[in-house]
Amino acid sequence: MTVSLIIPAYNEEEAISPVIEEYYPFVDEIIVVDDGSTDKTYELACAHQDDKVHVCQHKKNQGKVGALLTGVHESTGDIIVFTDADCTYPARYIPGFLTELNKGADLVLGVRNIDTHNIPLFNRIGNVVFSTMATYISGKFISDGQTGYRAFKREMLDELLVSAKSLEFETKMTVRAAKLGYIISEIPIEYRERVGTSKLHPIRDGYRMFRALLSIAWHETSPLAKMISVPGLFLLIAGIVIGLVSVQERLLNYHLIHEYYPLISVFLMLFGIQLTSIGLIIDYLSKKMERIEERIHQISIKKE
């Protein structure tokens, strides 16, 4: 199987050449998409063009997702690998990605070793929060749903490519794959300090990731699971509201006017969480069974 590497690049003149050179021995095709850079990214990438390296250019910046889609459209490989153009992801993990795909994985994620020297504190907190949310929504443990280093087979393209505008793309793709019951494999990787200026806007991109998770949770959940989970969410919200009323009474009046409100609040929140969790578990199991049936059918067809 041939491997196509997609590198979206926007103002990465310091890193684009080292990235191309590092990945060159590990893949069959490299597609660099210059996303309207205003520096020398495009010229430096073009200097590496040959039968293996191809460079595309957007005249205007279309965002990371637009660049990835252009790269995928121009690629020809059986395996598609996404990476960033900032030297953060080492190329040496590509063989491990391919091994996991050959074992049956549908999506392989490079799980970053997040530490103080490579990711700021605020971003580390956000990564933990969103990975926890992704795990809860999908019913599958996801260590690093935001990683930009990932691989999948071209045949999975229609299932895994999701609509997004920016860095929430990776999170949305990961959760959608998990919600649909596909096999996700994780490989621990070294995550190096980036070269150049970060394009991440913590507040804006964090809000987009949160909204993307809610969108996937709603649109990819079965009607049966929604019938169980939605009432659970309402109970959870009601419990939180009653709890806030109790806190307000305690702060303003120094005692509780409605002394049973805290107990009611805790009961509603626990019951709401349980209902929501049961709905998500049912959805996960049903999607997983669908994927198992698909694989059995595919195997039976091959034997015939």
Residues 147-202 pLDDT 10s: 999 999 998 888 888 777 666 788 888 888 888 888 899 999 998 888 867 666 66
Exposure pattern of 48-61 as b/e (b: 16+ CB <10 Å)?
Answer: beeeebbbbbbeee
Which residue reads 């990438």 in tokens?
Answer: 45
Question: pTM of the predicted model, to two decimals?
Answer: 0.78
Residues 14-55 pLDDT 10s: 999 999 999 999 999 999 999 999 999 999 999 999 999 999
Residues 193-229 pLDDT 10s: 888 676 666 677 677 777 777 777 777 777 888 888 8
**Radius of gyration for the chain, computed over Cα atoms and rounded to the nearest angstrom:** 22
pLDDT averaged over every residue in the chain? 86
Residues 238-268 pLDDT 10s: 999 999 998 888 888 877 778 888 899 999 9
Does 118 score more than 60 pLDDT?
no
Distances from the Cα of 95 to the Cα of 30, 86, 108, angstroms: 16, 21, 12
Distance CA 249, CA 258 (A): 8
Quote the DSSP letter at residue 165.
S
- Whether the CB-CB separation of 50 and 29 falls below 8 Å is answered with no
Helices and strands (H and E) in the chain: how many: 10, 7
**pLDDT at residue 304, as a whole number:** 62
